[in-house]
Amino acid sequence: MFPSSHKSKQYLLLALKIFILGFTFSYIYIKLSKNESQQYQEIIFEALSKNNDVFGYITLFILLAFANWFFEILKWKELVSTLQKISFLTSLKQSLSALTVSLSTPNRIGDYGAKALYFKKELRKQVLLLNLFSNTAQMGMTILFGVFGLIYVAFTYAIEYSLIKVIG
């Protein structure tokens, strides 16, 4: 390989970031445009054409999404602080870049590798394990609260269900 200057590495990194961003937007556009029924467009048009509280709900959902990412970034910052102290801004960059990479990989597996790339080679295995621990704990909590939610709904609304159908 030929030696490259610091400036050329910066341009290459910028080009790579722009490529990934373009790829991500293209991927999302293709996924949305392949929806042959186009139901999402009809739903949005109908919701916006009526005089209702749809903007309030949209605002609430956007605020909840930002709150979710804020806590996700804080969680990553705290997890990684056991290995290396990072700032909130660094955690933000790592989390959002990992999300971007994970959009184009099956089962969001790119999230693991993208976060690990921000750390020195000797810390990468530990970062992968931290990420695995974090995702496993989050899935466990989601399942736990989901089961409690299902039980609550089933008893509150007297929904009849077959345990065999639920398990099998």
The total number of structural domains that make up the chain: 1
Contacts for 96 with CB less than 8 Å, ≥ 6 apart: 69
Residue 143 lies in a domain: yes
Residue 151 lies in a domain: yes
Q: Cα separation of 63 and 160, whole Å?
A: 35
Q: Residue 100 carries which side chain, given as an amino acid letter?
A: T
Residue 99 lies in domain? 53-167
Per-residue pLDDT, 3: 65
Q: Cα separation of 127 and 79, whole Å?
A: 9
- pLDDT tens for each residue of 147-157: 999 889 888 98
Q: Could you write out the DSSP letters of every residue in 58-107?
A: HHHHHHHHHHHHHHHHHHHHHHHTTTS---HHHHHHHHHHHHHHHHTSGG
Residue 120 lies in a domain: yes
Residue 41 lies in a domain: no
Residue 73 lies in a domain: yes
Per-residue pLDDT, 40: 66
Residue 116 lies in a domain: yes
Report the phi/psi class of residue 107: left, alpha or beta, with left for phi > 0 and alpha for psi in -120 to 50. Answer: left
Q: Cα separation of 61 and 121, whole Å?
A: 39
- pLDDT tens for each residue of 12-56: 888 888 888 888 888 878 877 776 556 666 766 776 676 667 778
- pLDDT tens for each residue of 96-111: 999 888 888 888 888 8
Q: Cα separation of 5 and 20, whole Å?
A: 23
Q: Cα separation of 83 and 113, whole Å?
A: 17
Residue 136 lies in a domain: yes
% pLDDT > 90, the chain = 45
- Of the pLDDT bands very low, low, confident and very high (cuts 50, 70, 90), residue 115 is very high
Mean pLDDT of the chain: 85
Residue 28 lies in a domain: no
Let me know: does 76 contact 134? Beta carbons within 8 Å: yes
Q: Cα separation of 19 and 65, whole Å?
A: 25
Q: Cα separation of 78 and 115, whole Å?
A: 14
